Chain A
Amino acid sequence: MASVPVSHGDQTLWRLPRVRYERMVEKGILDSDDKLELLDGLLVVKEPQGSLHSSALLAAHRELSRAFGRRYIVRPGLPVALDEYSEPESDIAVVPGGPWTNKRRQPAKPLLVVEISMSSRAKDRFVKGGLYARAGIADYWVVNLVEEALEVYREPVRAPSWRYGWKYGSVKLLKRGAKVAPLAAPRSRIRVASLLP
């Protein structure tokens, strides 16, 4: 992936490579009350999370831990080494292995990513969706707490008009009564209602 300059009005913003972001974190340059994620080279401030968001995160964590079983780990709100310029902190990222599998480096390509979405909906759909699609994440879910539905994004395809050049070709909106099976755990059925308040 080429380092494309991000122009912002009349100035070109500097894009921070992921390895240097990790160095900043290691050297303690970012203080611990900084809630940040690196999205395509930009350090973006995360929205504060309310109690509804926290509950939805716990629900998704429990359902997905059940669905994927012991050979996978369901990481809540932890960094993902997504690409050369991105280290988002996805609400949920499911990766193979156990708690210590990624002790030396953050995992790169989760089998499933879930974002819990309220005020961050546009960002989750368009910004993170585009980044996840470009990184080849095959299964991306957004728990939409505003409309009380689950959005399931699959089949990353090129989309030159999108910010990052990629989007998801398949988008499904699942209501409370529906069930969903993760692509990487096709025999597990999760009730959408169990992910919603």
Chain B
Amino acid sequence: MPPLRRRRWTRVEYDQLVEKGVFGSEDRLELLDGVLVVCEPQGSRHSGVVDLVREALERAFGRGYYVRGDKPMALDPASEPEPDVAVFPGRTRDYLDALPSAPLLVVEVADSSLALDRVRKGGLYARAGIADYWIVNLVDQVVEVYREPVRAPSRRHGWKYGSVKLLKRGAKIAPLAAPRARVRVADLLP
């Protein structure tokens, strides 16, 4: 089957599509590097774990940080992903008028979406310079911690994370942006 050259979208256009009502509320979409992608349907376990992560990060970061769950963010000119949880500096009130960008930490909760979260989103997050990216891996019951974005010409987006750590239930993580806080891996897992 011949490859089809698909029309790619910019974030500005994507926002226009949303505003002008081309998408309905039943469409769960993300814009990833110009491509409109259907969000994985979320089971109750997935959304429950997202809440666990949000709560744990709110405790760890404390006041002065905005921990945002399941909402879009402006990643780059052609990407508007909806990470499961993202942490931004400041307060909720600071982000009423525009989408937040430049998160301090992004967390994805992954079961069936593991490959997407590791490779494709990981590449995009690395390219955007996100310094701290965690995947709560429900399949293997570990938290994968990705840091140190580096160029990787062979990868789809040209970037990857240079450092990957797998942390088991007994471990603790200090977010790069809240180095004195300790997040227990067990608090992030079901």
Q: Do A and B come from one complex?
A: yes
Tell whether, in the assembled complex, residue A29 and residue B4 are in contact, meaning their CB atoms are under 8 Å apart. no
With a 10 A CB-CB cut-off, give which of A5, A10, A39, A122 has the most chain B CB atoms: A10
Q: Which 4 A-B pairs have the closest CB atoms?
A: A122-B2, A43-B7, A14-B36, A10-B115
Question: Distance in Å from the Cβ of B36 to the closest Cβ of chain A?
Answer: 4
What interface size band does chain B fall in?
20 to 34
Tell whether, in the assembled complex, residue B7 and residue A44 are in contact, meaning their CB atoms are under 8 Å apart. yes
Tell whether, in the assembled complex, residue A126 and residue B1 are in contact, meaning their CB atoms are under 8 Å apart. yes
**A126 to B13, alpha carbons, bound, how many Å?**
31
Tell me which of B20, B27, B37 contacts A29 (CB under 8 A): B20
Residues of A within 8 A of B20 (CB): 23, 27, 29
Tell whether, in the assembled complex, residue A23 and residue B22 are in contact, meaning their CB atoms are under 8 Å apart. yes
Residues of A within 8 A of B115 (CB): 10
| Total of A-B residue pairs, C-beta within 8 Å | 65
Residues of A within 8 A of B37 (CB): 11-14
Residues 25-54 of chain B: 1 if any A CB is under 8 Å from the residue's CB, otherwise 0? 001010010011110100000000000000
Task: Check: B116 CB closer than 8 A to any chain A CB.
Answer: yes
Residues 23-43 of chain A: 1 if any B CB is under 8 Å from the residue's CB, otherwise 0? 110010100001010010011
Tell me which of A10, A14, A27 contacts B120 (CB under 8 A): A10
Tell whether, in the assembled complex, residue A11 and residue B116 are in contact, meaning their CB atoms are under 8 Å apart. yes
Q: List A residues at the B interface (Cβ < 8 Å).
A: 5, 8-14, 16, 20, 23-24, 27, 29, 34, 36, 39, 42-45, 122-123, 126-127, 163
Given A13-B35, A14-B29, A29-B13: A123 in contact with B2 (beta carbons within 8 A): yes
Residues of B within 8 A of A12 (CB): 37-38, 40
Tell whether, in the assembled complex, residue B7 and residue A11 are in contact, meaning their CB atoms are under 8 Å apart. no
Task: Check: B6 CB closer than 8 A to any chain A CB.
Answer: yes
Q: From B113, which residue of chain A is reached at the shortest CB distance?
A: A10
Tell whether, in the assembled complex, residue A34 and residue B7 are in contact, meaning their CB atoms are under 8 Å apart. yes
Given A14-B29, A43-B7: A24 in contact with B2 (beta carbons within 8 A): no
**A27 to B37, alpha carbons, bound, how many Å?**
22
Could you tell me which residues of chain B, from 1 to 17, have a CB within 8 Å of some CB in chain A?
Answer: 1-2, 4-7, 13, 16-17
Task: Check: B119 CB closer than 8 A to any chain A CB.
Answer: yes
Question: Distance in Å from the Cβ of B182 to the closest Cβ of chain A?
Answer: 33
